[in-house]
Amino acid sequence: MEIYLDNSATTRCYESAAKLMYELMTEHYGNTSSMHQRGVEAERYRREAAKRIARSMKVEEKEICFTSGGTESDNLALLGCARANRRAGKHLITTSFEHAAILNTMKELEEEGFRVTYLPVDERGIVRLSDLEEALCDDTILVSVMYVNNEIGSVQPIQEIGELLKKQNHKILFHVDAVQAYGKFRIYPKKLGIDLMSVSSHKIHGPKGVGFLYVDSGVKIQPILFGGGQQRDLRSGTENVPGVAAMAEAVKEIYTGFEEKTERLYSLREYFIQEIKQIEGTVVNGPQGREGAPHIVSVSFAGVRSEVLLHALEDKGIYVSAGSACSSNHPAPSRTLQAIGVKKELLESTLRFSFCEFTTKEELDYTLAALRELLPVLRRFTRR
């Protein structure tokens, strides 16, 4: 039995998306820049994909820039906008618990002479509007806030931030890292006041190595990759047509029957949270109701190291992650968990369970049973 509860790290590709990708790689393999039939055909696939993705957000096809994934989208948004607008100002704002793709890009911009304000988050894992308002300066050019936190699933007040920024006297660009949110919420950038938005394909059952950046047509941005001038000079490099088409297929799938799927995910999550709280010595971190994302549950298990519990669960075919998968290259106590006030002794005893539309109640019951069985055993053997 395999139970995959690490969907915030990555997801299984939809079969239809994988099939389409295979087809495009072996049959319709043209280069969109070629002038012959194969090229025209590839270009058609690319445009279809862009259209479908644009429609899912009610934006224009030309506002979609395909990238190699979430990290590149974040890099392009921040580096591209900061550099293109440096004459307007040198101040940037983000939060302290963003993904490394944002935080490390901000560090790079600091090297280039920009000032960056890192907003704190409250005990619910949410940015305070008042903090943002206070941080705004006359030379603020860009604000970047993630939609859903990848470790605890807290949802940020995107619409309120968008409105606040539009009220300012000068133009401030608003970038949203929606890697954990797109496909879990319906997101309409124009209604929310979002100028740029990063999305990754492999978090929505699409292939890895592809993603996109939504760029509002009014945004001044410059490229970070240089070459053949594809995608209106914004992102050079032969377009990954199979990846892009498969991503669009995944977008179609994930937003099909969306309301029921979301409802189902929320009730599964509520059930899981309710049951896990019955187990002795567990603490659920972050939002527990519908104010949070439907697919992420962060739980601390007193007296057990997360790595050990993770491997013990793995032994039973259950895959979860400790903290967030992206940070396992540089293990350190999670800043998000610290920010929301998780007790020190629980920081290294925290697991993240993340669901997807294929997750079933049976799987959760099996997982809960495994936890009930393993925890007492593992707690017997701890460092004293």
Residues marked as catalytic: 326
Closest distance to other proteins from the beta carbon of 369 (Å): 17
Neighbours of 210 (CB within 10 A): 27
b/e map 186-205, b = 16+ CB within 10 Å: ebebeebbbbbbbbbbbbbb
Among 23, 61, 307, 348, binds other proteins (CB under 8 A): 307
Residue 310 interacting with other proteins (CB under 8 A): yes
Residue 376 interacting with other proteins (CB under 8 A): no
Closest distance to other proteins from the beta carbon of 310 (Å): 8
Q: How many residues bind other proteins, per CB under 8 A? A: 13
Nearest to 336 by CA among 324, 351, 354: 324
Among 122, 123, 133, 314, binds other proteins (CB under 8 A): 314
CA distance 360 to 125: 27
CA distance 13 to 41: 24
Residue 160 interacting with other proteins (CB under 8 A): no
Closest distance to other proteins from the beta carbon of 325 (Å): 13
Closest distance to other proteins from the beta carbon of 301 (Å): 14
127: which residues sit within 8 A by CB, 6+ positions away? 95, 119, 120, 121, 145, 156, 157, 161
User: Which listed range, 108-116, 155-163, 209-217, 376-384, lies at the site for other proteins (CB under 8 A)?
Assistant: 376-384
**247 DSSP assignment:** H
Residue 320 interacting with other proteins (CB under 8 A): no
Residue 308 interacting with other proteins (CB under 8 A): yes
Q: Return phi, psi of residue 244, to 5°.
A: -65, -45
Amino acid at 234: L
Residue with tokens 């309120």: 160
Nearer to other proteins, 93 or 309 (CB): 309
Residue 126 interacting with other proteins (CB under 8 A): no
Neighbours of 62 (CB within 10 A): 12
Closest distance to other proteins from the beta carbon of 319 (Å): 12
Residue 210 interacting with other proteins (CB under 8 A): no
Nearer to other proteins, 265 or 312 (CB): 312
Contact of 152 with 336, CB cutoff 8 Å: yes
Q: Return phi, psi of residue 326, to 5°.
A: -65, -25
b/e map 244-256, b = 16+ CB within 10 Å: bbbbbbbbbbbbe
Nearer to other proteins, 77 or 351 (CB): 351
User: Which listed range, 98-106, 155-163, 309-317, 356-364, lies at the site for other proteins (CB under 8 A)?
Assistant: 309-317
Nearer to other proteins, 36 or 380 (CB): 380
Q: CA 90 from chain center: how many Å?
A: 26
Residue 331 interacting with other proteins (CB under 8 A): yes
Nearer to other proteins, 257 or 331 (CB): 331
| The total number of residues written for the chain in this structure | 384
> Where do the DSSP E strands lie in 155-291?
173-177, 196-200, 211-215, 282-285
Among 312, 356, 364, 375, binds other proteins (CB under 8 A): 312
Residue 344 interacting with other proteins (CB under 8 A): no
Q: In the beta sheet, which residues pair with residue 4?
A: 319
Nearer to other proteins, 116 or 322 (CB): 322
User: Which listed range, 161-169, 248-256, 290-298, 304-312, lies at the site for other proteins (CB under 8 A)?
Assistant: 304-312
Nearer to other proteins, 155 or 312 (CB): 312
* Interface with other proteins (CB under 8 A): 307-312, 314-315, 331, 380-381, 383-384
